Amino acid sequence: MNISLLRPLALVAALSFGAMGSANAVEYTTLDSEASNIAFGYSQMNVKMDGGFSEIKATGLSFDPAAPEAAKVAIEVVLSSIDAGYDEANTELEKDEWLALAAHPLATFTSSKVETVGDNQYQVTGDLTIKGHTQEVTVPFNFKEEKGAGVFDGSFTFQRADFAVGEGQWKDFSIVANDIELKFHMVARP
């Protein structure tokens, strides 16, 4: 066979295999709110407490494991969906000293950068807004593909005082600690 004929065939084969590889790439763009959750942990009078939010929405989501640096995420958490472990705490958190739900019904996170830090390990930097106060945070997370979905798991700690959560008499960290640990399990679909 003529060598000049083999070169175009090899090029066509290489391009075909490359196209097949990119055809399998999946971009995750839809948050499965039912399968996702955000939990938090805090300390009240040196007793560990846990809680969570039941209403989470992605107003923007784009994550391609082949190009994670191009990822974008914008999340809204409906603060009235909070469960701090008992009814009295939930009622207290609605007040202006805490979450001021009437004036600030949502907490939001909007990404500005995603970086790869290891095998299936990333960190996202962006603006976290709670109660009208915005802070830039960097959040580590793991990613895996499972049963046709993209699964994001991570956690980070922030200080409630940075967001004016717990004002007045509640500024005393000996009653409710300043550190709040946020854990998330997000499930996204193509």
Contact 116, 68 (CB under 8 A): yes
Output the pLDDT for position 18. Answer: 40
59: left (phi over 0), alpha (psi -120 to 50) or beta: alpha
DSSP 22-81: HHT---B-EE-TTT-EEEEEEEETTEEEEEEES-EEEEEEEB-TT-GGG-EEEEEEEGGG
pLDDT (tens, 9 = 90+) of the chain, 190 residues, equals 444 433 443 333 333 334 333 445 799 999 999 999 999 999 999 999 999 999 999 999 999 999 999 999 999 999 999 999 889 999 999 999 999 999 999 999 999 999 999 999 999 999 999 999 999 999 999 999 999 999 999 999 999 999 999 999 999 999 999 999 999 999 999 9
- Token pair belonging to 161: 């005082």
Cα dihedral 85, 91, 92, 95 sign: positive
Q: Which residues contact 70 (CB under 8 A, 6 or more apart)?
A: 62, 64, 114
Output the pLDDT for position 116. Answer: 97
Output the pLDDT for position 7. Answer: 42
Output the pLDDT for position 24. Answer: 56
Residue with tokens 């998330």: 184
Q: Is the pTM of this model over 0.95?
A: no
The architecture (CATH level 2) of 26-189 comes to: Beta Barrel (2.40)
Residue 174 CB coordination number (10 Å) = 7
What does the alpha-carbon distance between residue 88 and residue 110 come to, in Å, rounded to a whole number?
31
Output the pLDDT for position 71. Answer: 98
Please state the domain extents for the chain.
26-189
